[in-house]
Amino acid sequence: MANNQQLTNLVNYGLVKAHIAMGLLFFIIVALMGFLYSLQLDGIYPFPGIEFLSPGRVRMIHTAGAAYGFLVNLFTGLLYWAVPRFTGYRVLSDALGWFMFIALQAAVLITVVGILFLGQADNVEWGETPWWIDPIIVFWLLLHLIQFGAPLFKASQRGPLYVSGWYISAMLVWTPLVVFMGNLIPRFWSAGTGAGAVQSTFIHDLVGLYVTPVAWGLMYYFVPVILKKPMWSHGLSLLGFWGLAFFYPMNGVHHFLWSPIPMFAQYSAVFATVAIEFAVTSVLINFMMTIRGSAEQLKYNVPLRYMYTGAIFYWITCFQCAFHVTLTFQKVIHFTDWVTGHAHLIMFGTFGLWVLGMAEYVWPKLFGKETMYSKGMSEGAYWLLAIGVFAMFFDLTAAGLVQGFDWIGLNPWIDSVNFSKPFWYFRSITGIMMITGLLMYAINFYKTATTAKGLTAELKSESA
Amino acid sequence: MGKMERFSFVALVAGIIFFLFADFVSWALPMFVLKDIPMKKVEDLAAEAKAKNTSAWSDFLRLAKIYFPEQFKKYYGEPNEQTFAEALKIGHHWYVAEGCWNCHSQVIRPVSNETLRFGIPGVSNTVSYPSEYQNELQAPVLWGTKRIGPDLIREAAVHDIGWQVAHLYNPESTSPGTNMPGYPWFFEKDEKGNIVPNKRGLGLLVYLMWLGSWEVKPPKEWALKE
């Protein structure tokens, strides 16, 4: 069909495939790294005394790898699919795209070697990449800006951009600024408390100004496409975007409440964080009203179910955040596993499930097929991942309360370790669930790509 | 409304103006408020430790003259200001590289009885304050976001060198039930077959005994003469 032909020319399928495949591979690797680290907490680490598999180093691969290996790869792959399709223009250059693809994998691999074997880590949480890698990442992000900026710019010459375009445009500008700020300013242009303020801004901005806008941008594209109807309210889309754009960058200092950072910065962060929940709720209302009347699709459409499960987890995380960001809650839960649970629900439960859902929607189409290889594996992976991550969240939240009150009670330190052990055992079990789900998902992907059968979405008739 | 939906408007207003405003509030203004606190290099920290004869300095001399003299001579040479600075730098590098800061924070908050738990017993009730972080070893800052183990910013007042050596090699030996991993690669065997710290290990010990030493006020006779 003419229409299909046009779309094939718009999107470079190879780049989408390569990024999604690598992203999925890194997703499994960083999940395994997290699982390994959790075994150390359980006291049953399988590789004690091996220098390059020291749990401290493995944990940095878990976090830095999740940022650059898993999320950047998957998001970039999905952007290569979505941006040309909603703007109607190709990305700047395919050759640049392949160069960026190789450069990104090289940066991630050098980081892994640097942290595990060379002892070259950086003590910026979520920016554990060795500091000499960071300028390269900033340069990569500038290439990323022109690569995806070109179609967005061309489209906005023609008329107003679609909602996804606003989120992605802002993200393209924010991300290089954020990575530059968070990794280089604390090392070279400040120290101590000032550096702490920059680092906390960075931790949150990488979530708030890269992951969140690109993920919402993609959601605003994929959900209406799958449901075959427009978003419920354009006004709420505007409100959600501008609310996020104004309040999100100011949230960062809430990571270091009660620290030596001047109180006005801490108060502004608390205020901005509570304010952002209103923006988030407006976005959520928009999405929930969009699916109104089509909710039965959640029963059959696994990608859509991933997206709405992620959206509900997103709202839970943000609602939780509005409370635990206050100075009162921080007395108890700061430094505890509560925060770890929160981080996993947002990164895995929301953004992880979203990219998996979107990738599962895109993947068969890339190979000219209509559905995934196995419906059973699709469903199984979904339930393992969704139940696993929510159970982990619940478990770690409870563990955080136990730890927090135990520390306030001035019991011997080892008590808090012993009291946490049952929670940590359970956390490792949920980790096994999540990794099993991921492997199932990956096998399904592999089979979909390689099977000779033409997979069609036709319903099998019962009698035949 | 149409303008708000253009690439250039979004990139300029949301991407740049909002971002700069937030950075101004979140860290540029705090940095400006704190700008009068002098920034110390590692050499300044070493000079200060020696001049004030802090517990970090006396522990450093103990380590180099009494605990592991051969090892120290082999890797660093004579114990003086320069070698103290060098050891601090190496110790800090490996504290970061091993991800110690993933499980140990370096900040005491004024709430939740933290001053009682981590403050220096009988001496002070210290909450962390900005000037103690204004140095090269806190760039980027090591406050941390998670505690599996206890806070370390007053560590010099809590344990001595012998405890640190045993604990680094095998944490279970000093803290039964702990889930901290051992770090045998910071140690080696000397000619007699004793397990002794290597260059990295010595650096890490100096660094750990330096943490919070500026708050420890030892009795005069306790500090070691050169």
Cβ distance A339 to B146 less than 8 Å, yes or no, reads yes
Q: Could you tell me if A88 lies within 8 Å of chain B, comparing CB atoms?
A: no
| Assigned domain for A53 exists | yes
| Assigned domain for A26 exists | yes
Question: What pLDDT score was predicted for residue B1?
Answer: 54
Residue A349's nearest CA partner among A320, A318, A317, A321 is A317
How many angstroms separate the Cα of B115 from the Cα of each of A140, B12, B151, B155, B209? Answer: 45, 46, 11, 13, 19
Write the pLDDT tens digit of every residue in A28-42. Answer: 999 999 999 999 999
A54 phi and psi, to 5 degrees?
A: -60, 135
The predicted model gives B78-95 an average pLDDT of 96
Alpha-carbon span A347 to B18, nearest angstrom? 24
Cβ distance A404 to B26 less than 8 Å, yes or no, reads no
**Contact residues for A305 (Cβ-Cβ < 8 A; gap 6+):** A298, A357, A382
| Assigned domain for A157 exists | yes
Q: Which of B108, B145, B158 to mutate to test the interface with A (most CBs of A within 10 A)?
A: B145
- Please say whether the beta carbons of B139 and A191 come within 8 A: yes
Cβ distance B22 to A250 less than 8 Å, yes or no, reads yes
| Maximum CA extent, chain A | 73
Alpha-carbon span A174 to B15, nearest angstrom? 5
In the structure, what pLDDT confidence band is assigned to residue A291 with cuts at 50, 70 and 90?
A: very high
Q: Which of A117, A134, A193 to mutate to test the interface with B (most CBs of B within 10 A)?
A: A193
Question: What pLDDT score was predicted for residue B126?
Answer: 82
Indicate if B126 and B22 belong to the same structural domain: no
| Token output for A187 | 């090392």
| Assigned domain for A39 exists | yes
| Assigned domain for A9 exists | yes
A48, A410, A418 member nearest B113 (Cβ): A410
State the nearest Cα–Cα gap between A102 and chain B, in angstroms: 26
CATH number (domain holding residue B182): 1.10.760.10
Write the pLDDT tens digit of every residue in A48-58. Answer: 989 999 999 99
Residue A352's nearest CA partner among A145, A73, A16 is A73
Q: Which of A92, A131, A173, A190 to mutate to test the interface with B (most CBs of B within 10 A)?
A: A190
Q: Which of B9, B37, B104, B112 to mutate to test the interface with A (most CBs of A within 10 A)?
A: B112
Range 18-47 of A in CB contact (< 8 A) with B: 40-43, 45
| Assigned domain for A347 exists | no
Domain encompassing residue A130: 1-161
For helices A302-324 and A212-227, angle between their N-to-C axes, nearest 10 degrees: 140
Alpha-carbon span A253 to A460, nearest angstrom? 56
Q: What SS3 state is found at A381?
A: helix
Q: b/e map of A171-183 (b: 16 or more CB within 10 Å)?
A: bbbbbbbbbbbbb
Alpha-carbon span B27 to A31, nearest angstrom? 33
Indicate if B85 and B10 belong to the same structural domain: no
Cβ distance B15 to A332 less than 8 Å, yes or no, reads no
State the nearest Cα–Cα gap between A285 and chain B, in angstroms: 21
Indicate if B12 and B72 belong to the same structural domain: no
Indicate if B25 and B123 belong to the same structural domain: no
Indicate if B65 and B171 belong to the same structural domain: yes
Indicate if B6 and B100 belong to the same structural domain: no
Cβ distance A404 to B112 less than 8 Å, yes or no, reads yes
CA neighbours within 13 Å on the CB side: how many for A126?
24
Indicate if B103 and B168 belong to the same structural domain: yes
Indicate if B15 and B62 belong to the same structural domain: no
State the nearest Cα–Cα gap between B80 and chain A, in angstroms: 26
Helix (H) / strand (E) element for A277: namely helix A263-291
CB atoms under 10 Å from CB of B172, counted, come to 14
Indicate if B112 and B87 belong to the same structural domain: yes
**Contact residues for B212 (Cβ-Cβ < 8 A; gap 6+):** B120, B152, B153, B154, B155, B156, B157
Indicate if B107 and B156 belong to the same structural domain: yes
Alpha-carbon span A228 to B143, nearest angstrom? 49
Give me the number of domains chain A comprises.
1
| Assigned domain for A234 exists | no
> In chain B, which residues have their Cβ closer than 8 Å to the Cβ of A261?
30
Alpha-carbon span B24 to A265, nearest angstrom? 10
**Bridge partners (DSSP) listed for residue B146:** A335
Alpha-carbon span A414 to A421, nearest angstrom? 11
Alpha-carbon span A447 to A427, nearest angstrom? 30
By CB atoms closer than 10 A (0-12, 13-18, 19+), residue A96 is: middle
Residue A317's nearest CA partner among A291, A285, A281, A354 is A281
Question: What pLDDT score was predicted for residue B225?
Answer: 58
Write the pLDDT tens digit of every residue in A80-96. Answer: 999 999 999 999 999 99
Q: Could you tell me if A235 lies within 8 Å of chain B, comparing CB atoms?
A: no
Write the pLDDT tens digit of every residue in A370-401. Answer: 889 999 999 999 999 999 999 999 999 999 99
Indicate if B142 and B104 belong to the same structural domain: yes
Indicate if B112 and B22 belong to the same structural domain: no
| Assigned domain for A79 exists | yes
A45, A59, A209 member nearest B102 (Cβ): A59
The predicted model gives B196-204 an average pLDDT of 96
Handedness of CA A181, B151, A408, A262 (dihedral sign): negative
Alpha-carbon span B107 to B113, nearest angstrom? 13
Cβ distance B31 to A194 less than 8 Å, yes or no, reads yes
Question: Model-level pTM?
Answer: 0.94
- Eight-state DSSP code of residue B13: I
Question: What pLDDT score was predicted for residue A443?
Answer: 96
Q: Could you tell me if A102 lies within 8 Å of chain B, comparing CB atoms?
A: no
Give the residue from chain B lying closest to A266, CA to CA.
Answer: B26
Cβ distance B113 to A156 less than 8 Å, yes or no, reads no
Domain encompassing residue B200: 42-222
Give me the number of domains chain B comprises.
2
